[in-house]
Amino acid sequence: MRLTWKIRRKLLRLVAAGTLLSAVALLALYASSEASPKAISETKRRQHSSFMFPEDLHYSHKGSRITAKCTMATCFNVSRCIDSFKVYVYPFEEEKKGGRGGGKQAASSIYKKMVRVLRDSPYYTSDPNTACLLVLNIDTLDRDPLSNDYVKRLPEKLKALRTWNNGRNHILFNMYSGSFPDYNDQLDFDHGEAIIAKASFALENYRTGFDISLPLIHKLHSEKGKFTGGVSAHGNLFPIRRKYLLIFKGKRYLWGLGSATRNAIYHLDNGDDVIMLTTCKHGKFWSRYRDEKCKKDNIFFEKYNYNHLISNSTFCLVPRGRRLGSFRFLESLHAGCIPVSLSNGLVLPFHELIDWSKALFVFDERQLFQVPHMLRHIPEDKILSMRLHTQFYWEQYFSSVDAIMHTTLEIVKQRISQFQNGVVATASNAHFLWNHYPGGLVISSDYSEKLEDYPFFIKRQQGPPSGYTAVVMATKPASKGNSPLVLLLKNLCNSTHARKIVVSWIGSGNPKVMVPPFCRPSIKVIDARKDKKLMINVMIPYMEIRTDAILSLWEDTELITEEVDFGYLTWLSNPERLVGFVGRRHFWSPNQGQWICSSGLNNRYSLVSLGASFYHKYYAHHVWHHKLSSSARKILDSSKDCFSIGLNFVISHMTGSPPLKVTQRVSLNYFTSKERTEVVMSCVSCINSLTISFGYIPLKYSWSRADPVLFRDNVAAHRKEFRRIENVT
């Protein structure tokens, strides 16, 4: 028993020691597990079986970021753009030498257009040191060595630029890269850290958020102006389903790059509503590769007119060619023929801001044979909406080189997200602004983040009208009670909706204006002579204007109170238009070979005089300063008479609408006939120079005027709200 007890004790000790040891081991293990997060995770994992552990929240990752590709953070100096967004263009050789010209051709016609447009841009600066973006004086559009426009010895030329700085903050434009036979999408020179704005951009080379994808632009593309698409011109918004479902007319590559798709397209042709016309004729040696089909193809190819097809088809196939981009893209967009892009890897132009799903379809080239089936099932209202969007995008962002270049600039600007006027320029509603009327080139999100601050939107919850600020330009003393200015002021004082009257004095001596003693709105005479050289500052004393509506007046304008109130109420539902009392008309004089203004009575008008007009302060406060091309600004600053025409141009350019004339008033009075001729003369010179600057005439005609609803109706006078207007002449 004892022995056994002893043995038992020994055993017990052993067990105790064993347990102790194991406990120690356990402790040690636990301690070691403290040090190793692995073991912790094991214990914790039993408590909760989530994929995440507390240490994942504070995991210190010691690795450094590897960025193989350029990004705005690594290859762009953002700080150069924070205070202002300016663009510099290097001067061309011949310019430096004093316009000798001739000799070597400096650039292709399209690059010249681009450069001219940029130089005339409101963002342009002539000082490379203040610029955010720099544009080369070397044409990089065509990098196909077989092409005539190919610029040789490019790397040397780049090195010679003093401010090249390995391409930092530069933007390069390109239409064609690579050459026969592989058409490499990458540029054939070292572009360093420059942003590449390029057509036919392939996704694998595109640096998202850094590069910009452009459409392929034809050399005959309009330089400036804003033009409606083919649907307006042809009047073919309807029928929704056009004669053809899907068309294509182009080359059929029998071999080589891009032929996989191009040589399969003809299979879709059903001889009925899917017309695929392909020709084997391309290049010098096409006949070497021709097949049996070529002869038949070529006959059919000639049978159909491309313009006829494109405006009679619901969808247009836009397949890749040798390169990814194609002229078909802009052509079908213009024609309102909904593009069906078949170009694997193509980065759609300006996709950063344009929501292309609203205007086109992108299919995988591998799905070619399913395309007609899928298109057939698209409902009519979707087709209509898409067709409308093709027209909208075309007009706003593609209808001229100017629009394309400014969209490019706006994209860069958005990325930098400038803070200006205390607003985040990268507006939270960028998608809305770019994909809805009036579009991102008309609205500057750095003006206001609130849509209701722009004239193009109507506020949902409308309070009482906020009234207007009248701005009267005065040059002559008006100290007598019967002087036109004093009479005008008296009438304004009685106006229900006037909030403030500002007399902007630019006459000689101290302002001599008799202010009516009893005036409901506040009235203020300011001496504007300090700013005299800039007419705009006289017409628009910014600091004084708090209301959305500005009423522009001349000192000799004659208006009665009812007219002004009626005009204001009319403006309220047309805030994007210029609403004036007296209309004029422009027309082309074939004899004189120029545009002419008429001031007399007419059945239609295209201009209203700023001697008496309402307009939105966005035009004055923002557009006038930040959206005018430098050539337009020069014209407007140089002549006070151009102010009227200029604002008409700007507003019609932005809205595409004519101004609106209110009441039957024929003249603003007080013009002697001599003055009137002068006004007409200055109108002529303004219109013609502004037309050159804008690149087109944005003015539109209107045949109607606004009258009070019961105007001259056979109703008792007391029932009419604006009965005095009936006596105005």
CB of 705 to other proteins, least distance (A): 5
Interaction of residue 363 with other proteins, rule CB under 8 A: yes
Q: What 3-state class would DSSP assign to 127?
A: coil
Interaction of residue 18 with other proteins, rule CB under 8 A: yes
Cβ atoms of 497 and 469 within 8 Å: the answer is no
**DSSP conformational letter for 346:** B
Interaction of residue 362 with other proteins, rule CB under 8 A: yes
Query: Between 44 and 83, how does the x/- string for binding to other proteins read (CB under 8 A)?
Result: -x--xxxxxxxxxxxxxxxxxxxxxx-xxx----xx--x-
Residues 543-582 that bind other proteins (CB under 8 A): 566, 569-570, 573
Cβ atoms of 671 and 560 within 8 Å: the answer is no
Q: Judged by CB, which is closer to other proteins: 295, or 366?
A: 366
Contacts with other proteins: how many residues (CB under 8 A)?
149
- Can you tell me which of 34, 95, 190, 380 binds other proteins, judged by CB under 8 A? 380
**DSSP conformational letter for 124:** B
Interaction of residue 364 with other proteins, rule CB under 8 A: yes
Interaction of residue 392 with other proteins, rule CB under 8 A: yes
Q: Where are the beta strands (DSSP E) in 56-194?
A: 87-89, 133-135, 170-174
3-state secondary structure 598-630: ECCCCCCECEECCCEEEEEHHHHHHHHHHCCCH
CB of 489 to other proteins, least distance (A): 25
CB of 82 to other proteins, least distance (A): 6
φ, ψ of residue 82 to 5 degrees: the values are -70, -40
CB of 273 to other proteins, least distance (A): 15
Interaction of residue 447 with other proteins, rule CB under 8 A: no
CB of 120 to other proteins, least distance (A): 27
Interaction of residue 440 with other proteins, rule CB under 8 A: no
- With a CB cutoff of 8 Å and minimum separation 6, the contacts of 679 are 599, 641, 671
- Can you tell me which of 6, 13, 19, 299 binds other proteins, judged by CB under 8 A? 19
Burial of 323-352, coded b for 16+ CB within 10 Å and e otherwise, reads: bbbbebbbbbbbbbbbbbbbbbebbbbbbb
Which whole-number Å values give the CA distances from 305 to 249, 275, 299, 309, 632, in the listed order?
Answer: 9, 12, 13, 6, 40
Q: Which range in 36-44, 284-292, 400-408, 637-645 contacts other proteins by CB under 8 A?
A: 36-44
Phi-psi map region of 607: left, alpha, beta (phi>0 left; psi -120 to 50 alpha) = beta
Q: Judged by CB, which is closer to other proteins: 5, or 180?
A: 5
Interaction of residue 661 with other proteins, rule CB under 8 A: yes
CB of 107 to other proteins, least distance (A): 32
Closest CA to 219 of 69, 111, 62: 111
Which residues are registered as beta bridge partners of 498? 468
Q: Judged by CB, which is closer to other proteins: 424, or 534?
A: 424
As a whole number of angstroms, the distance between CA 314 and CA 333 comes to: 11
CB of 203 to other proteins, least distance (A): 6
Which residues are registered as beta bridge partners of 661? 580, 705
Angle between helices 561-572 and 484-493 (to 10 degrees): 60
Residues 461-520 that bind other proteins (CB under 8 A): 461
Q: In what order do the strands lie in the sheet with 244-251?
A: 274-279, 244-251, 313-319, 338-342, 361-362
Q: Which range in 319-327, 416-424, 477-485, 672-680 contacts other proteins by CB under 8 A?
A: 416-424
Q: Judged by CB, which is closer to other proteins: 427, or 628?
A: 427
Closest CA to 538 of 472, 477, 484: 472
CB of 710 to other proteins, least distance (A): 6
CA 534 centroid distance within chain: 28
Query: Between 678 and 707, how does the x/- string for binding to other proteins read (CB under 8 A)?
Result: ----------------------x-xxxxxx
Residues 178-217 that bind other proteins (CB under 8 A): 203-204, 207-210
- Can you tell me which of 7, 26, 27, 160 binds other proteins, judged by CB under 8 A? 26
Q: Judged by CB, which is closer to other proteins: 117, or 651?
A: 651
Q: Judged by CB, which is closer to other proteins: 282, or 351?
A: 351
Q: Which range in 261-269, 276-284, 362-370, 679-687 contacts other proteins by CB under 8 A?
A: 362-370
Asked if the bond preceding 484 is cis, omega within 30° of 0, the reply is no
Residues 594-623 that bind other proteins (CB under 8 A): 600-605
Residues 640-659 that bind other proteins (CB under 8 A): 656-658
3-state secondary structure 8-45: HHHHHHHHHHHHHHHHHHHHHHHHHHHHCHHHHHHHHH
Q: Judged by CB, which is closer to other proteins: 396, or 504?
A: 396
Interaction of residue 25 with other proteins, rule CB under 8 A: yes
Q: Which range in 154-162, 228-236, 276-284, 292-300 contacts other proteins by CB under 8 A?
A: 228-236
- Can you tell me which of 13, 27, 34, 42 binds other proteins, judged by CB under 8 A? 42
CB of 65 to other proteins, least distance (A): 5
Interaction of residue 130 with other proteins, rule CB under 8 A: no
Interaction of residue 28 with other proteins, rule CB under 8 A: no
Q: What 3-state class would DSSP assign to 5?
A: helix
Residues 293-352 that bind other proteins (CB under 8 A): 344-345
Which residues are registered as beta bridge partners of 615? 550
Closest CA to 214 of 101, 76, 293, 111: 111
CA 130 centroid distance within chain: 24
Interaction of residue 232 with other proteins, rule CB under 8 A: yes
Interaction of residue 254 with other proteins, rule CB under 8 A: no
Q: Judged by CB, which is closer to other proteins: 437, or 670?
A: 437
Angle between helices 401-416 and 109-119 (to 10 degrees): 60
CA 256 centroid distance within chain: 38
CB of 368 to other proteins, least distance (A): 11
Interaction of residue 24 with other proteins, rule CB under 8 A: no
CB of 402 to other proteins, least distance (A): 20
Cβ atoms of 449 and 479 within 8 Å: the answer is no
Q: Judged by CB, which is closer to other proteins: 162, or 460?
A: 460
Closest CA to 334 of 405, 232, 251: 232
Q: Which range in 92-100, 227-235, 245-253, 627-635 contacts other proteins by CB under 8 A?
A: 227-235
Q: Judged by CB, which is closer to other proteins: 434, or 643?
A: 434
Cβ atoms of 699 and 604 within 8 Å: the answer is no
Q: Judged by CB, which is closer to other proteins: 390, or 693?
A: 390
Closest CA to 519 of 538, 540, 502: 502
φ, ψ of residue 8 to 5 degrees: the values are -60, -45
- Can you tell me which of 29, 299, 534, 692 binds other proteins, judged by CB under 8 A? 29
CA 54 centroid distance within chain: 48
| The amino acid at 224 | K
- Can you tell me which of 147, 287, 307, 428 binds other proteins, judged by CB under 8 A? 428
Interaction of residue 10 with other proteins, rule CB under 8 A: no
